[in-house]
Amino acid sequence: MADNIPSFKAADLVVELSSTLKPKPDVLSFGSAFSDHMLTIEWSESEGWKAPVIKPFGNLSLHPASPSLHYAIQLFEGLKAYRGVDNKVRLFRPMLNMKRMATSAKRACLPAFDQLELLECIRRLVEIDQDWVPNLERASLYIRPTFIGTEQCLGLKKPANALLYVIMCQVGSYFDGEPKSVSIWADPKYTRAWRGGTGDCKMGGNYGCSLSAQYEAVSHGCQQTLWLYGEDHQITEAGTMNVFLHWINEDGEEELATPPLDGIILPGVTRQSILELTRKWGEIKVTERYLTMSQLCSALKQQRVKEMFGSGTASMVCPIGHIVYQGEDLHLPCQDKDSLLTSRIAKELTDIQYGRTPSDWTILMEQQ
């Protein structure tokens, strides 16, 4: 066992297959067509981890006092299985999700587990439901590991019972209608995360509390919120995405910049992959640095902005077309599609995910 901590083991997996398989949906919306099976693993303080179970997809039975329902003692992950051009199913950098999940669990006071053992259980689940991995470019099977406190007690404390489960659903484009770019509304009155908080962990509370700002963005004619931070209106994230700026910086250098992982930024797998990919190209300066709205506004006035985009597992790479900020509609340049860095990054990533480019970033599933 890699981490040498008490953990469940994939070798103990109990598999109970569903006797009836559900029809697959014709239209791929985001997050509502769930596969036939799920993985559940129970933990208790007194007995530790139980054997992992793969069983037919179904509802959970939770005590109404469960701390996940009252105090948001919970976390989740998001990763995808892709069906490649060779018909083989691949996971994209899943160990990065396992690692982030372990970090979130520590912060949520949920028990530790062996990351490799969880990955092996997920691999088995994907293999069992591999017919659910769509055979369509731009579509995939979204895998949602979730970890919740389940103790039957209203006291605010480390839960003595917890449940780790994994569900999967077919997904297409995250944004309805596959927009060419998204519009975002930037208002410093809302904060997604703050120093010392949990912005760098993937916890439901970070997302649930962002929703009213998201709807306010919609009421201003925008699709997403640009999350600003501090007196100087630092640009941090956009909606549920990390954010990148491709520009000519203050020193006249072409630069791809994204805010640093200083505790308020989610360490996105797509973010990390974009940084590694573009650094490997060695063509432009790639930095993790602070970016403020005033720097962006001056760069826009001086026509130094090439493009801006968000990145995430669900949304992949998504160009930003407009920002509404302090009553102004800032228009971001939209160049010829093929000349954009966004398109090149998206192509290189999808080439890896869909098996057109061999890469050690993917893990192959066994075909049944």
For residue 53, which amino acid is it? Answer: V
Question: Of the candidates 46, 102, 105, 113, which has an alpha carbon nearest to the alpha carbon of residue 73?
Answer: 105
| Distance (Å, whole) CA 101 – CA 77 | 6
And the tokens for 301? 């006035």
Among 67, 84, 312, 319, binds ligand COI (CB under 6 A): 312
Which of residues 240, 249, 353, 362 is near ligand COI by CB under 6 A? 240
- Phi-psi category of 233—alpha, beta or left, where left has phi over 0 and alpha has psi -120 to 50? left
Number of residues binding to ligand COI, judged by CB under 6 A = 6
Asked if 274 is part of the footprint of ligand COI (rule: CB under 6 A), the reply reads no
Nearer to ligand COI, 104 or 278 (CB): 104
Nearer to ligand COI, 268 or 355 (CB): 268
Site for ligand COI in 9-48 (CB under 6 A): none
Contact flag: residue 313 with ligand COI (CB under 6 A): yes
Of 40-48, 149-157, 310-318, 357-365, the window that binds ligand COI (rule: CB under 6 A) is 310-318
Of the candidate spans 18-26, 275-283, 311-319, 354-362, the one that interacts with ligand COI by CB under 6 A turns out to be 311-319
Among the listed residues 58, 22, 21, 52, the one whose alpha carbon sits nearest the alpha carbon of residue 39? 52
CB atoms within 10 A of CB 218: 13
* Residue labelled with tokens 């995360």: 193
- DSSP of 194-243: -TTSSTTS--HHHHHTTHHHHHHHHHTT-SEEEEEETTTTEEEEETTEEE
**According to the binding rule CB under 6 A, does residue 78 interact with ligand COI?**
yes
30 vs 71, which CB is nearer to ligand COI? 30
* Angle, in degrees to the nearest 10, between helices 269-281 and 341-353: 110
The number of CA neighbours under 13 Å toward the Cβ of 284 is 19
Asked if residues 186 and 144 have their Cβ atoms less than 8 Å apart, the reply is no
Q: Any contact of residue 206 with ligand COI (CB under 6 A)?
A: no
C-beta closer to ligand COI: residue 13 or 143: 143
Going from the C-alpha of 215 to that of each of 162, 186, 223, 293, 315, the distances in angstroms are 33, 13, 8, 22, 18
Can you tell me whether residue 157 is helix, strand or coil?
coil
Closer CB to ligand COI, 67 or 312, in the complex: 312
Q: How far is the CB of 79 from ligand COI (least distance, A)?
A: 8
Minimum CB distance to ligand COI smaller for 111 or for 268:
268
Shortest Cβ 313–ligand COI spacing (Å): 4
Up-side HSE of residue 30: CA atoms within 13 Å toward CB? Answer: 12
**Position 134 contacts ligand COI (CB under 6 A):** no
Residue with tokens 């590694």: 276
Strand-strand pairing, 74-76 and 140-149:
antiparallel
Q: Is 175 a binder of ligand COI (CB under 6 A)? A: no
Is residue 207 near ligand COI by the rule CB under 6 A? Answer: yes
Shortest reach from residue 122's CB to ligand COI, in Å: 15
Instruction: Note whether 224 binds ligand COI by CB under 6 A.
Output: no
Is 314 a residue that touches ligand COI (CB under 6 A)?
A: yes
Which residues bind to ligand COI, rule: CB under 6 A?
A: 78, 207, 240, 312-314
